[in-house]
Chains A and B, each alone.
Chain A
Amino acid sequence: MTNPTAERIKGIVASSDVVLFMKGVPEAPECGFSASVVQILNGLKVPFKGVNVLVDPQVREGIKSFSDWPTIPQLYVKGEFLGGADIVRAMFQEGELTTLLSDKGVLTAAS
């Protein structure tokens, strides 16, 4: 059985090291939870690709079953699902996010 949406999501996830499925665009998030993840990624100066699910109903629904996660935003790093806004924030606060991103080689070393 092929699921075209899942295939498309797979392609999106693979298209960039850090992919954020979000509501709105990074420059103008349309949901507080999406905005908080954007702020954290920008704060760490992590380049990422924002995918606006509000303009893509198939991805908006499909990503939930793809990740087995009920809400947006969703952060992927190197193809691996990291979590939603709460998890990203908790990982950031504990310093785990910085460690993980630099281990994955997506964080430019701070000068």
Chain B
Amino acid sequence: MAMAGAEIERLIKQAFPDAQVIIVDLKGDGDHFGARVTSGAFTGKSRIQQHKMVYEALQGQMGGALHALALETSAPK
């Protein structure tokens, strides 16, 4: 079962209340998403740490129900 974009956004915002989240359905198939996440929680973290934080927010769906999520993370400038 694929995950809806709205559900991805909800889980990310639940973990990072300050986050700006942009979700794009890259192929229009409800299965390949792109997400740009900006949150103060990323300040001072390496890219690997930032991506792991988002994967954790997705509660194990990444690599499972969620096949493809192209992720861009950053701290607010």
Contact = CB atoms under 8 A, between A and B. Distances in A.
Contacts of A48: none
Interface residues of B, number: 13
Q: Number of contact residues on A: which range applies? A: 10 to 19
Q: Is the interface of B mostly helix, strand, loop or mixed?
A: mixed
B48 A83 contact: yes
Nearest to A88: B47
A86 B63 contact: no
A81 B46 CA distance: 13
Interface of B: 47-48, 51-52, 55, 60, 62-64, 68, 70-72
5 contacts: A33-B68, A69-B52, A69-B55, A70-B64, A71-B62
